[in-house]
């Protein structure tokens, strides 16, 4: 099943809104054997919509459109579809009742523009949207399918999961896909690829390996395509074990489709360990990553944002002589920051960062991007210097992510020692 994605909206083209819908739809389609052959974005212009719709139907079995279903004059998708199929607009009574009920509850006036929400092309199979006022629509012509969905991400996702994917499965039941994603951290994409080169060279045509890199981490997605779901799973498990044999165990952060902050959280929870952060150059970004994971309150107790030296001294107990002799960006300082956080917050583990994010503040000895990171417990502290040499925001992101990786490695070594 080949799919063409079409995103509609001036706000997409001028960069006011980022199109996250296409990525999410592609991920969901992948799970049922769908392959996105092309993705386009057009303005709220009927002629442009019709041109791209015609193009999509020449390239793919299915065209999925997002956006342009609102009640305002710049929402042109429904009228474009009606003109494309040569039909008029009709009222969809269930949507009318649903929308009228919402407006009554909120004591809002139903304007002529709102009425357009329950008007749909006459040949549409309406996909009822209980998450919003704009219904989705399903069209069939010859052997092709056209789907029109709201641009609001949570409405789109609801309709994809509950209406579109089940219908596509029934219509295009054939090739099945099995896939597994694992998370590695601590080595870059090229290093991992070198390790896995003999494995990749030996893969059969229906098995693929994809590299999905992020800062300090690479997700590896292994995919098997075939007509027999059970055979796909068996082959997937076999190839996964072959791949894992070529990777050092210390690189495996998670056997799931994960991100580093989540993998570290699961590790801490499994060991019953608590964590605090003491941050200077990262300014709370490390704590932000940690607390972005649901359930992080199980292991994360708090953070000290010690941006100024007086806070390092007064709150974390960093010695004035340490700052005077070695500077804030030094191994000695981050070691004392870790010890201070352990004492002040009372946790099993602490991570500290201190560096020069930029663009100013660098010296020949400590250029912009120099960051010291330390992680430790009451018995041991490990410190390391990094030279990221990127812009300010990227230096902060790199520092926080490598701090998580140091924490993951530290906990792993402590478990081995114990």
Angle formed by the axes of helices 46-59 and 77-85, nearest 10°: 60
The model's pLDDT over 341-397, given as tens digits with 9 standing for 90+, comes to 999 999 999 999 999 999 999 999 999 999 999 999 999 999 999 999 999 999 999
Average pLDDT rounded to a whole number, residues 239-260: 97
pLDDT above 60 for 418: no
- Token pair for 334: 């981050």
186-195 own/partner pairs: CB under 8 Å, 24+ apart: 186/216, 186/217, 186/250, 186/251, 186/253, 186/405, 186/409, 187/218, 187/251, 188/213, 188/218, 189/213, 189/218, 192/218, 192/220, 192/247, 192/251, 195/246, 195/247
The predicted pLDDT at position 151 comes to 94
Q: What is the DSSP string of 251-292?
A: GEEESSS--HHHHHHHHHHHHT--EEEEESTTTTHHHHHHHT
The predicted pLDDT at position 108 comes to 87
The predicted pLDDT at position 415 comes to 58
2-171: CATH number = 3.40.980.10
The model's pLDDT over 125-183, given as tens digits with 9 standing for 90+, comes to 999 999 999 999 999 999 999 999 999 999 999 999 999 999 998 888 767 889 999 99
14: confidence class by pLDDT, cuts 50, 70, 90: very high
The predicted pLDDT at position 113 comes to 84
Where does residue 39 rank: exposed (0-12), middle (13-18), buried (19+ CB within 10 A)? middle
Is residue 179 within 8 A of residue 224, CB to CB? The reply is: yes
Residue 332: count other Cβ atoms within 10 Å of its Cβ.
18
CA 220, chain centre distance (Å): 15
Average pLDDT rounded to a whole number, residues 396-405: 98
Q: Is the pTM of this model over 0.95?
A: no
pLDDT above 60 for 19: yes
Domain limits of the chain? 2-171, 176-254, 260-417
271: confidence class by pLDDT, cuts 50, 70, 90: very high
pLDDT above 60 for 99: yes
The predicted pLDDT at position 84 comes to 97
The predicted pLDDT at position 416 comes to 60
CATH of range 176-254; options 3.40.50.300, 3.90.180.10, 3.30.70.2860, 3.55.40.20: 3.30.70.2860
Question: What is the C-alpha separation between 3 and 8, in angstroms, rounded?
Answer: 16
Is residue 405 within 8 A of residue 186, CB to CB? The reply is: yes
260-417: CATH number = 3.90.950.20
């Amino acid at each position: 099943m080949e799919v063409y994605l079409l995103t509609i909206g001036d706000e997409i083209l001028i960069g006011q809104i980022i199109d996250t819908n296409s990525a999410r739809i592609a991920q969901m389609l992948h799970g049922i054997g769908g392959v996105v052959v092309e993705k386009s974005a057009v303005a709220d212009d009927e002629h442009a919509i019709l041109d791209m719709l015609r193009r999509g139907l020449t390239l793919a079995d299915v065209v999925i459109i997002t956006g342009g279903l609102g009640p305002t004059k710049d929402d042109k998708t429904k009228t474009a579809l009606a003109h494309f199929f040569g039909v008029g607009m009709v009222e969809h009574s269930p949507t009318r009742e649903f929308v009228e009920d919402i407006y009554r509850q909120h004591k809002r006036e139903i304007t002529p523009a709102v009425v357009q929400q329950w008007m749909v092309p006459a040949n549409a199979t309406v996909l009822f949207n209980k998450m919003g006022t704009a219904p989705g629509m399903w069209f069939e012509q010859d052997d092709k399918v056209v789907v029109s969905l709201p641009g609001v991400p949570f409405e789109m996702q609801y309709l994809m999961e509950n209406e579109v994917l089940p219908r596509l499965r029934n219509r295009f039941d054939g090739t099945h896909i099995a896939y597994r994603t694992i998370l590695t951290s601590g080595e870059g994409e090229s290093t991992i690829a070198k390790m896995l080169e003999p494995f990749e060279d030996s893969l059969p045509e229906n098995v693929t390996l994809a590299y999905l890199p992020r800062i300090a981490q690479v997700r590896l997605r292994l995919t098997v395509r075939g007509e027999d779901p059970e055979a796909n799973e068996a082959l997937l498990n076999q190839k996964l074990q072959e791949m894992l044999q070529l990777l050092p165990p210390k690189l495996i952060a998670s056997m799931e489709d994960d991100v580093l902050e989540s993998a570290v959280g699961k590790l801490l929870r499994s060991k019953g360990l608590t964590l605090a952060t003491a941050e200077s150059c990262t300014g709370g970004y490390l704590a932000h990553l940690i607390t972005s994971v649901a359930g992080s309150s199980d292991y994360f107790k708090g953070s000290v944002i010690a941006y100024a030296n007086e806070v390092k001294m007064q709150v974390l107990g960093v010695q004035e002589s340490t700052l005077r002799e070695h500077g804030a960006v030094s191994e000695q300082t981050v070691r004392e920051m870790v010890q201070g956080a352990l004492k002040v917050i009372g946790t099993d583990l602490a991570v500290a960062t201190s560096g020069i994010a930029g663009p100013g503040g660098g010296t020949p000895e400590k250029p912009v991007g120099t960051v010291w990171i330390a992680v430790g417990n009451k018995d041991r502290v490990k410190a390391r210097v990094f030279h990221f040499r990127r812009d300010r925001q990227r230096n902060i992101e790199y520092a926080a992510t490598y701090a998580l990786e140091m924490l993951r490695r530290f906990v792993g070594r402590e478990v081995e020692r114990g």
